[in-house]
A and B are shown apart, each in its own frame.
Chain A
């Protein structure tokens, strides 16, 4: 396909004026190839949490697009994200999911790189290269790194705005996600291990679902019929008992950057609702946090976030504190990575309740996310047929009913909101996607004479 026609995506395959999106954006190989170049090579992507690499020398592997990256803390304590790829022949220079190391060596010809990315060792430098290899030019390829409240993002394109600008008006909501239960900004700690699994669907299905799909709740009827909430009552959420008895706005929030948030805005202040009566330490912790949060945030404590999607491929979940990353693995497969976190200073009893709850809720063994993945993989199949592809998907729910800065002025910047169910968030997401896809592709710079 030819690249960069101004109307090819915006108004073409993605026709938001009519609330229609071509099924081909989920299945086309050429479109997928463009995504890697125009979306993943230019966006800030989530790679991990600082608590994954607490000590000098600690590293873990991450992914950006289809490529492996090393996320590490060097001997001086600085964070880096390197392409896990030897500059000589492209072998992985790190073959372990996590560990501690001051160097990364390629097993093919033993080029060795430091934890700061410098090429420090080349066999046969004298007899083979005759000392004519300028090692300073052949260090590991390094991404720009931003740590936001301990959540680490990386980007390959220096022309992309700084992370905070990139986050734009989502800041209010992502800040809310990053807050500890008591409303302060302190340390979160990731549990050991990363859930990684493969789902036969396009990577965008998870991203759009977590960005704004309250409409799909019927698919969770089975989990609503059993006990999942740590409160020991039927249902999924700890907050079910709260929200069912209180007047709330259940809101979808879009930002002009195409990021999304979901959550509840309580119409009035509300008293703490006991949830963990059978676990005194846990109950005391959350009761205490609740009082502190109300005192610190005042009116803004009425916002209770549920989660959202930071464009393009990471979704955060409040309540079940986790980050789910939708790694592209070809147009027809997504490799999902999910991490879970708990407040570092919380008592062990609290951490254990949170850990147990989230792993029963999300991930491939999670009672709720299992049904989500069934939806996405079946939707993906439904996007592939020759006849099916002639007919666009419908993304028109609630078109024209978005309300700017509503229902309270303090909900963070130039946002639009709709109540209950709507597809405004998905439209904003695909609007951003289409704009990025319409940008001209990357042009390789001419070879430098010095090399």
Chain B
């Protein structure tokens, strides 16, 4: 009886640690431009969604983010579309990413919100620094809600919702992955 809460807590800590290690490894793939290896982490039917934010009156925040599958979104994609983005960068002719940016993806405030045998829902904050050419510099900061699926010893990303803390995008493009 005494051991049960402790082992449940330990299981949570271990799960959170595994998710964190997964995200650190994922960030490394993106930041070392191993984009095709990154694609291998995505579920075949992944939903990758980043809505557009707008300024709303206090208490009327329901419409603060545009709706998936209905409104304009910065991204509203699946695996195939993300593959096309990677292939475009890898042509070496995608001038918005040629030379390719230097990025550092940082993940913080990680929580496993809910988990069962088939899925793990996580919330975190992201901080992405991007520098390109000499002085071209951007910061992307926001919240990320993921759904992971256990896959062997690791995970596949089944869904990713990205909430950028900007209504007017303070960068000239979104050529990076979140």
Q: Which of B67, B87, B172, B174 contacts A225 (CB 8 A)?
A: B87
- B169–A196 touching, CB < 8 Å: yes
> Which residues of B lie under 8 Å from residue A192 when comparing CB positions?
63, 66-67, 70-72
A98 within 8 A of B: yes
Q: Which residue of A lies closest to B84 (CB)?
A: A226
Q: Which residue of B lies closest to A61 (CB)?
A: B55
**In the complex, chain B residues 51-65 whose Cβ is within 8 Å of any chain A Cβ:** 51-52, 54-57, 60, 63
| Interface pick from A127-135, A197-205, A408-416 | A197-205
Q: Which of A96, A225, A352 contacts B91 (CB 8 A)?
A: A225
> Which residues of B lie under 8 Å from residue A303 when comparing CB positions?
none
Cα(A228)–Cα(B77), bound, Å? 12
Given A191-B71, A367-B85, A371-B96, A99-B173 contact (CB < 8 Å): no
Cα(A237)–Cα(B20), bound, Å? 41
Cα(A26)–Cα(B98), bound, Å? 25
B74 within 8 A of A: yes
Cα(A363)–Cα(B55), bound, Å? 20
- B88–A225 touching, CB < 8 Å: yes
> Which residues of A lie under 8 Å from residue B55 when comparing CB positions?
95-97
Cα(A360)–Cα(B72), bound, Å? 10
- Determine chain A's interface SS by DSSP, over half rule: mixed
Given A222-B93, A370-B94, A374-B96, A193-B172 contact (CB < 8 Å): no
B43 within 8 A of A: no
> Which residues of A lie under 8 Å from residue B89 when comparing CB positions?
222
Smallest CB separation, A328 vs chain B (Å): 15
- A198–B170 touching, CB < 8 Å: yes
Q: Which residue of B lies closest to A367 (CB)?
A: B88
- Report B161-174 CB contacts with A as 1/0, cut-off 8 Å: 00000011111111
> Which residues of A lie under 8 Å from residue B168 when comparing CB positions?
196-198, 335
What is the interface residue range for chain A against chain B?
35 or more
> Which residues of B lie under 8 Å from residue A196 when comparing CB positions?
167-169
- Determine chain B's interface SS by DSSP, over half rule: loop
A276 within 8 A of B: no
Q: Which residue of B lies closest to A97 (CB)?
A: B54
> Which residues of B lie under 8 Å from residue A377 when comparing CB positions?
172
- A200–B172 touching, CB < 8 Å: yes
Given A97-B56, A370-B96, A226-B88 contact (CB < 8 Å): yes
> Which residues of B lie under 8 Å from residue A397 when comparing CB positions?
none
> Which residues of B lie under 8 Å from residue A267 when comparing CB positions?
none
Cα(A352)–Cα(B66), bound, Å? 14
A29 within 8 A of B: no
Given A193-B52, A371-B96, A352-B84 contact (CB < 8 Å): no
> Which residues of B lie under 8 Å from residue A226 when comparing CB positions?
84, 87-88, 91
A365 within 8 A of B: yes
A-B residue pairs in contact (CB < 8 Å), sample of 26: A97-B56, A98-B54, A98-B63, A192-B67, A192-B70, A192-B71, A194-B72, A195-B52, A196-B168, A197-B168, A222-B88, A223-B88, A225-B93, A227-B84, A355-B76, A360-B81, A364-B74, A364-B172, A364-B173, A365-B50, A365-B74, A365-B75, A367-B84, A373-B172, A374-B96, A374-B173
Chain A residues engaging chain B, CB cutoff 8 angstroms: 95-99, 191-200, 219, 221-223, 225-228, 335, 339-340, 352, 355-356, 359-360, 363-365, 367, 370-371, 373-375, 377
Given contacts A198-B169, A365-B174, A375-B95, 10 further A-B contacts (CB under 8 A): A98-B54, A191-B72, A192-B63, A195-B169, A222-B91, A225-B87, A367-B84, A371-B96, A373-B96, A373-B173
Chain B residues engaging chain A, CB cutoff 8 angstroms: 50-52, 54-57, 60, 63, 66-67, 69-77, 80-81, 84-85, 87-89, 91, 93-97, 167-175
